[in-house]
Each structure stands twice: as structure tokens, then as C-alpha cells.
A and B are shown apart, each in its own frame.
Chain A
Amino acid sequence: MARFLLKRIGLGLVTLFLLSIIVFSVAMILPGNVGRSVLGGFATQESVDALNEELGANRPMVVQYLDWAGGAIQGDLGTSLTSQVPAWDLLGPALSNSFKLAFVAFILCVPLSILGGVISGLRYGRATDRSITIAGISFSAMPDFVTGIFLILVFGIWLGWLPVTAQWDDGASIPTQLQHLLLPALTLTIVLFGYIARITRAGMIEALDSDYARTAYLKGLPSDVVVRRHVLRNALLPTIAVVAVQIGYLFGGLVAVEFLFNYRGIGALILDAAKAKDLPLLTSGVLVIGTVYLVVTLIADILYAVLNPRIRLGAAE
């Protein structure tokens, strides 16, 4: 187990390093001239040169990368061009807002989707299964902002039950905050339902078809005991892996949902940075999103290993 842990963490660090190289190259090398791409074609050459000087964009690439990555390791993510404050002062609060939304969405989505997948697997091939499966495919295929628009129209405008923006006034109570978060969280639930339910269903079908399930049935156990004690335990293992990947999406892929609901999360922040051509803030934000994703998948891998005796006991190495 210790070896597995070390190996997995080491691999995560390597991936993070490569990710920083990719992000850096895209942001700094692709435009050719950073100052020109920020200021646009009509800016004078002097102002372009001045901005390049200020950003240090006229130094060799390797020096720039080392400077940037070295700062990032020490928690210095650079300075936002538009608001002239350290990028972290903007990223920190945005990240914690995103965590809030992701948490509410997670609480809503995971039990519902697993329930859907389990029912679907138990009713394999029948009308219930087909409806859940088709609904799942359709829901997860729809872009999240389209789902969000439909929910805003129905629950926010036509029925008038819920607020249409996710941004509450300062100092709002927890129930009010939750009320504001409900529509975006519901949007995410609908988007993720398909993925999680589908994997759960596949796991259920495989486990129900296994020898141990058949043995359990044949020795006369009631079917709810078979499902609870034998089938669910094995069927839910792959689900954990999928849920983890989707949490990664919940922390960074929410650009459109946060924009639609006017929510000040990290997705909306990098969108603003992109529109304002604030490259330092944008690259730091993207790097933070990637880091959160890698940490979440790392935790999920470890959880998966702890729950799976084949990996826990080192047989799968």
C-alpha cells in the first residue's frame, strides 16, 4: 500500500509539472508577442514594448518559465493585469465559491444518479431501464447552459419558485444561499446523472450476472439481501472512479453554468480574465483548476485502492 501511494503521488507530481509546461507554452508562446496580443493591433510599438518589459515577456522562454513556475510553487501566482492585485486574492474567494456550488451539486447528484443506475440495472432490458438509460444519454449530451436555460425558464420565471441568479447579497443566511444555489446545482445534477447512472448500471449488470450472485440466489438468500450484501458492494466500485472524474469537472468545467447564473466562481473568473486578455490571471486560474482536478483524482484513486482488496493487498501491482 505504501509503495502504491508513493508511486501514485509521484506520478501526480510529474503530471502537474507537464501540465504547467503545457499551460505556459499555450499562453506565452502561441501568441508570438504577448504585449501585442494583449493590447491589440492598434497599440503603438512603444506601449507594446513597455508591456513586454513589465511582464518580462522579452526574456528567454526557459527563464520566463522557471520564474513563473518557481513563483507558483511558492504560492505566488503573479499579478492580475486588469485589477493589479495578486492573482491569488481573486482566485481564492472564487475557488471557495466554486467549492460551495460543487458541494451542493454533489450532495444532490450522487445519491440520485446511483439510485437511478441501480434501479436500471435491476430492471435490465425492461421499459424502466430503457427510459432511464435514454433520459441519461439525453441529459448528459445537452450542453449545461441549455439545461440551465430550461430550468431558469420553468422554475425561475414561469413558476417563480427559485431565484434566477446564484449570486446572493452579502451576509445572506445559509438557507438563502442554498436557495440561490439550488438551480445551478440542479443543472449540474441533470448533466452528471447520465454518466454516473450509466456506470452504476453497467456495474450492477456485471455483478448480477456473476457466479457469486448466482450462488447467493441458489442458496436461497432473499433477493434484497443478495443485492445489498453481494451485488452492490462490487457494482459500486467502478462508480467511485467515475464520480471522482466528474468532481474534477465540477471544479473547473462550470464556466458556462457560472456565467449563466452570474455566480462568482473560478469558471466565471477565468472567463472574465480571458475576455479582458488578462493572461497572468488566466494562466494561474487554469493551473489551479488542473491542480484541483489532479488532487481530486489522486484522492479518488487512493479511496478506490482502500476499498478494493486486490489493490490494497498489493496483488494488482
Chain B
Amino acid sequence: MTSLATPAPSPAPGPARSESRTARSERLRLLLRSPTVVIGAIVVAFWVFCAIFTDLVTPYNPIFDNEFPLSEPPTRDHPFGTDTNGRDVLSRVLAGSRDILVIAPAATLIGTVLGTTIGLLSGYFRGLFDDVLSRFVDAALALPLIVTAILIVTAVGQSGRREVILIIGLIFTPVISRTVRAAVLGETELDYVQAARLRGERAPYVMFAEILPNVFSLVVVEFTVRLGYAIFAIATLGFLGFGVGPPSPDWAAQINQYWTLIDPYWWMTFFPALAIASLVVCVNLVADGIREVYER
């Protein structure tokens, strides 16, 4: 190892930080230049706003019955119509982003934290632990996400907000750990890791203080991509009847409740479906832009 004589440029506090700051502003500039990312971000921001300030944006009460005519098709007073309980569908659609915008990021965060930790451990120590773990991850990935989720939901016996967060988080863990592991394997070959080891640093320090910052952009990309999948999975579970139930205005719960009435009451299903589509597509447009910028 010749690099011992001239220590590898480990992330020195001063210049490196300003360098990473320029890199960050450069990335942001590139992101804002892409029209699809900007449109996606605006739509996502709109739904986040609706989730936080639900009372401000909904014209009528989204949960309790009002005195409106039942099952009325879209009119001037109710542009999205009313449902079988006489509630204003527009109000329910606007209020419906709250549950999924809490559940999906929470689940993705759990999966990312656990997956990154396991990926770091398994890529750093390798050996038997890594081999056994990789085999199990392979096996777990042979099942479609929804099938695994249904199996666990049934075994646990209940499916509320908390269960869905934990289950989706756990299901994402192996996928994320595999991505992180691959990156860590590459990093451990590099001089700065060797240098830290020879300095006598302990393994946790090398993993979390040396390697993690260097694979962090990958973790960010993984988080945004998984967030899209999380919304996908949680909405699907909700549609199948696992998740937040009525009277919550959650979009998937509304579809679960009304899709059998789609002919002739199409508006009770169509507008929540449109809302899910807009959110999930726009999250993916942003995620795709972030990935492109980071992988440059």
C-alpha cells in the first residue's frame, strides 16, 4: 500500500464542505431546469399543502354526513358530485392525501434506516453473515411485494396505520440493504477506508463516519425511488381492504368502498383514483429527476 506515505484525502472539514455545498447547489440547479421535475414537485407540494391545511382547503366537512342530496353526479355546487352518504366528494378528495402522506414516508424511512444499517454491516464484514443474509434476501425477493404484505398482514391479524407502516418498512429493508451493500463493497476497497482501519478506528466509526457519508447520495436516491413504491403498495393494500378504513377520506379507502358502484356512480371512484394517479406519477417524476442528477 503506497497510499500510506501520502494519506488519502479523507473528508477534511474545511474545503470539502464548501465543495459539497457547490455540488449540492449545482444539483439543485440541474433539477430545477427539468420541466418534468418542476411540474412533479408542484403537484406533490399541492397535496402536502392539502394534507397539512385540510380545514382550509375543503369546502365542506369531508367526514361527517351533510344535508346534501345522496349520490348526486357532478354539479356546480359539488364539482365532483356527492357520495352515498351525501358527502361532498371534492372535499373528501382534498382531505384524502393526509393518511398516505404520513404512512408512505414513515414506512420508507423505516425501510431506509434499517436497510442502510444492514447493508453497511453486511458489506463491511462480509463473511458468513453476509453470505447467509444475501441468500435470505434473494429468497424474500422471489415474492411480489403485495403478496408478502398480504401474508404478513394476515399473520399479524390486524391492519391499521401503524401495522401498514411497519410492514411496508420491513418489506423494503432487504431491497435497500442489497443496494447499499453493493455500494459499500466498492467503497471498502478504497484507500480512505484502508487508512481509517490502519489508524486503528473501530468498525462502527469506519462504517458510519467514513463510509456512510460517501454512499449517502445513493441512500437519498433509494429513498425517493422507494417512496414511489411505498405509495403504490399502500394504495393497493388500501384498495384490497387492508389499511385505514371508513370513514377516513383516504383515497384508496374511498375506492375500496365505492368501486363496485362504479356503474353508474363513476364519480365516487374516478376522482380518488385520479388523485392517487397524480400523486404517484409526480413523486416518480421527481424521483427520476433526482436519480438522473445524482448518477451523473
The interface of chain A, by Cβ under 8 A from chain B, is 14-16, 18-19, 21-23, 26-27, 30-31, 37, 134, 137-138, 141-146, 149-150, 152-153, 156-157, 164, 248-249, 252-253, 255-256, 259-260, 267, 270-271, 274-275, 277, 279, 282-283, 286, 289-290, 293-294, 297
B142 near A290 with CB under 8 A, answer yes
A143 near B235 with CB under 8 A, answer yes
B143 near A255 with CB under 8 A, answer no
Q: With A137-B281, A286-B147 given, can you name 18 additional A-B contacts, CB distance below 8 Å?
A: A15-B139, A22-B139, A26-B151, A27-B154, A134-B36, A138-B285, A141-B228, A141-B232, A141-B281, A146-B277, A149-B255, A157-B262, A164-B263, A255-B146, A260-B259, A270-B147, A270-B150, A279-B154
- 3 closest residue pairs by CB, A with B: A253-B144, A18-B139, A141-B284
Is B64 part of the binding interface, using a Cβ–Cβ cutoff of 8 Å? no
Bound form: Cα–Cα A290–B270 in Å: 34
Query: Closest CB of chain B to A301's CB: distance in Å?
Result: 13
B156, B270, B284: the one contacting A137 at CB < 8 Å is B284
CB-CB contacts below 8 Å: B239-296 with A = 239-241, 255, 259, 262-263, 266, 269-270, 273, 276-277, 280-281, 283-285, 288
Chain A binding site: helix, strand, loop or mixed by DSSP? helix
CB-CB contacts below 8 Å: B135-183 with A = 135-136, 138-140, 142-148, 150-157
Question: Which residue of B is nearest A149, CB measured?
Answer: B273
Bound form: Cα–Cα A30–B152 in Å: 8
Is B236 part of the binding interface, using a Cβ–Cβ cutoff of 8 Å? yes
Q: Which residues of B contact A23 (CB under 8 A)?
A: 143, 151
Bound form: Cα–Cα A289–B135 in Å: 18
A152 near B147 with CB under 8 A, answer no
Chain B binding site: helix, strand, loop or mixed by DSSP? helix
Bound form: Cα–Cα A285–B85 in Å: 38
A152, A256, A283, A294: the one contacting B146 at CB < 8 Å is A256
Known contacts A15-B139, A19-B139, A141-B232; A37 and B157 CB within 8 A of each other: yes
Q: Which residues of A contact B142 (CB under 8 A)?
A: 15, 19, 248, 290, 293-294, 297
Bound form: Cα–Cα A174–B42 in Å: 48
Bound form: Cα–Cα A142–B262 in Å: 19
Q: Which residues of A contact B146 (CB under 8 A)?
A: 253, 255-256
Bound form: Cα–Cα A23–B147 in Å: 11
The interface of chain B, by Cβ under 8 A from chain A, is 36, 135-136, 138-140, 142-148, 150-157, 228, 232, 235-236, 239-241, 255, 259, 262-263, 266, 269-270, 273, 276-277, 280-281, 283-285, 288
Query: Closest CB of chain B to A8's CB: distance in Å?
Result: 13
A274 near B259 with CB under 8 A, answer no
Question: Which residue of A is nearest B288, CB measured?
Answer: A137
Query: Closest CB of chain B to A69's CB: distance in Å?
Result: 14
Query: Closest CB of chain B to A262's CB: distance in Å?
Result: 10
B135, B155, B285, B288: the one contacting A27 at CB < 8 Å is B155
Query: Closest CB of chain B to A157's CB: distance in Å?
Result: 5
Known contacts A134-B36, A141-B284, A271-B240; A255 and B150 CB within 8 A of each other: yes
Query: Closest CB of chain A to B167's CB: distance in Å?
Result: 10
A289 near B270 with CB under 8 A, answer no
Of B150, B259, B284, most buried by chain A (CB within 10 Å of CB) is B150
Query: Closest CB of chain B to A149's CB: distance in Å?
Result: 5
Q: Which residues of A contact B239 (CB under 8 A)?
A: 143, 145, 256, 259-260
B143, B145, B281: the one contacting A290 at CB < 8 Å is B143
A31 near B143 with CB under 8 A, answer no
Q: Which residues of B contact A16 (CB under 8 A)?
A: 139
Query: Closest CB of chain B to A134's CB: distance in Å?
Result: 6
A137, A149, A289: the one contacting B269 at CB < 8 Å is A149
Question: Which residue of B is nearest A293, CB measured?
Answer: B142
A142 near B147 with CB under 8 A, answer no
Query: Closest CB of chain A to B296's CB: distance in Å?
Result: 15
